[in-house]
Amino acid sequence: MLIGIISDSHGQHLAVRKAMALFDELGVGYVIHCGDVGRPEVLDEIVGRPCTFVWGNMDLPSDYSPGYLKAIGIPAPVEKPTIVELDGKRFAVFHGHERGFKLSPRTLNVDYILHGHTHEQRDESINGKRIINPGALHRAKHKTVATLDTKTDELNFHEIRDS
């Protein structure tokens, strides 16, 4: 399965629209947003795709009514981290500011730890867990997202241009 990973959109729904167009073109089967969504318009761009997202330190969950999230079919994050199992792989999804995030490579039984927050791409392994940050769609020199193929473990970063 090809997974699309985005983070730190900070309300930049047009950048998210471009990312979703790229994901559609590449055949992404599931989207994960690692927080700092910014505005409901960002989630509106993801509608119709299987998705998980988490709240970032700049998100106000009260801006997203439970009725709105239910209507668009995207479940609100409840646990920290959010654990998702896709294609037989376990993912822990953080924003990166949460208590326990830095210890997660030692404490969680997962294959991947996904996060945002730093606005910088990351791909490293610690204690047998692959830690991925797709970069950011706001306040970054190069706005990037990532795709991960769960069958081959291939990770690619993709630049999203403003033009």
CATH architecture of the domain with range 2-159: 4-Layer Sandwich (3.60)
CB 137 within 8 A of CB 143: yes
Q: Is the pTM of this model over 0.75?
A: yes
pLDDT tens digit sequence for 57-66: 999 888 888 8
Nearest of 141, 148, 145, 147 to residue 159 by alpha carbon: 145
Residues 113-145: tens digit of each pLDDT: 999 999 999 999 999 999 999 999 999 999 999
Give me the mean pLDDT over the 40-59 stretch. Answer: 95
The CB-side HSE value for 32 (13 A sphere, CA atoms) comes to 29
The predicted-structure confidence for 9-42, as pLDDT tens digits, reads as follows 999 999 999 999 999 999 999 999 999 999 999 9
Handedness of CA 100, 57, 77, 143 (dihedral sign): negative
Q: What are the residues facing 32 on neighbouring strands? A: 5, 52
Unique residue bearing structure tokens 């990037």:
144
Q: Where are the domains of the chain?
A: 2-159
Give 141's contacts (C-beta < 8 A, 6+ positions apart). Answer: none
Query: Is-contact 80 62, C-beta < 8 A?
Result: no
Cβ 120 vs Cβ 135: under 8 Å: yes
